[in-house]
A and B are shown apart, each in its own frame.
Chain A
Amino acid sequence: MSAGGMRLARGRAGVSPVVSDVMITAVVVICMTALLVWTVGYVRDPAREAAMERLAFEDVWFTEEGGQKVVKVYVRNYGPVEIVVDRVSVEPPGVIISDADYLEGRGLRLEPSGGHGCIAFKFSWEPGEVYYIKVFTRRGSRFEVMAVAPS
């Protein structure tokens, strides 16, 4: 009994520090990794950056080019993060402009604090009609402007 007890005690004394060091190392590595992942996720959260997007409409022009009715929307990014234009919708009739109808500005990148550019697309506008033009960004923000087509 005493010999076995001594053996066990000796074994414990020899293994325990190594095991505890390994456990502490493992726990610290896991916790720090989790903290790092959470930190990176928190900082790069698209919803957080979406909340910092700011887009202003400088001008909306209902015009005709080559016999086709076209709308040109001129936008300005005055926020602190880059904006990428994803798609545009027009209401009425409440349609999302299809890729084939963009003349320019699909995927338009607007630099922070002053980037500006034009989104032009084919759209059969009616003279004197009121339209709500919505610009959706890649992060999911939506910016809207009301414009009246010329009579």
Chain B
Amino acid sequence: MRSWPSRPARPRRGVSTVAGAIFFVIIAMTIITGLLLWSMDAQRRMNDLDASRLSQNIVITNVTFPDTGVVNITVLNEGPEPVLLVAVWIIDKTDNTHTRIDLEEAYPPDGVVVNTGDTESFTVGYGWASGHTYVVKVITHLGRAFVRVAKAS
């Protein structure tokens, strides 16, 4: 009778300690593994972003000034991925003025979308002056700039 109560008490204590330790180690390992995987995934996403940016290749094939206050821009996407054009800069080299035209506002919601291999034409409002030379710069959603010089006549 006296020996019975002491026997189950000893193994119970040992099991709970070991179980607690294992439980803690599992939690710690789960958190550390999760963090490492998250960290690797974040690094991979940044690498993909940089590679995607570098692969963008837009060619401004034509810039025309068809009407007063209107500029027509034609672009060709020679890159491997669709590109969103989010802004156009028109720089008047004759009188050194820089004007930004937000394409996300002009062509909501994303701006001008140019699929791989496609040619897109779009117009922007800009008060150009005859005889002036303009640098037309299109900006992609990843911040790349592609330039063409054109003279208004």
CB <8 Å contact, B35 and A39: yes
Binds B, one of A48-56, A93-101, A130-138: A48-56
Verify if B122 is at the interface (C-beta below 8 Å from A): no
Within 8 A of A (CB), among B35-90: 35, 39, 42, 45-46, 49-50, 53, 86-87, 89
For residue B98, CB closer than 8 A to chain A, the reply is yes
Tell me whether A32 and B24 are in contact (CB under 8 A).
yes
- B side interface size, CB within 8 A: 31
DSSP class of A's interface residues: helix, strand, loop or mixed?
Answer: mixed
Shortest CB–CB separation between residue A67 and chain B, in angstroms?
16
A35 to B33, CA, bound (A): 13
Tell me if B142 counts as interface (CB < 8 A to partner A). yes
User: Across the interface, do A24 and B143 meet the contact criterion of CB distance under 8 Å?
Assistant: no
- For residue A92, CB closer than 8 A to chain B, the reply is no
Which chain A residues lie closer than 8 Å to B141 at the CB level? 78, 114
Whether, in the assembled complex, A58 has its beta carbon less than 8 Å from a beta carbon of chain B, the answer is yes
Report how far A52 CA is from B49 CA in the complex, Å: 10
CA distance A79 to B50 in the complex (A): 10
Which residue from B27, B91, B142 sits with its C-beta under 8 Å from A32? B27
**Bound CA–CA A72/B20 (angstroms):** 62
User: Can you list 8 A-B pairs with a CB-CB distance of less than 8 A?
Assistant: A39-B31, A51-B46, A52-B46, A59-B98, A62-B96, A78-B143, A150-B93, A150-B96
Other A-B pairs, 5, CB within 8 Å; known A28-B20, A57-B143, A80-B49: A48-B42, A56-B143, A58-B87, A114-B104, A116-B87
| Chain A residues within CB distance 8 Å of chain B | 17, 20, 24, 28, 31-32, 35, 39, 42-43, 48, 51-52, 54-59, 61-63, 72, 74, 76, 78-80, 114, 116, 150
Please report B residues at the A interface, Cβ cutoff 8 Å.
13, 17, 20, 24, 27-28, 31, 35, 39, 42, 45-46, 49-50, 53, 86-87, 89, 91, 93, 96, 98, 100, 104, 137, 139, 141-145
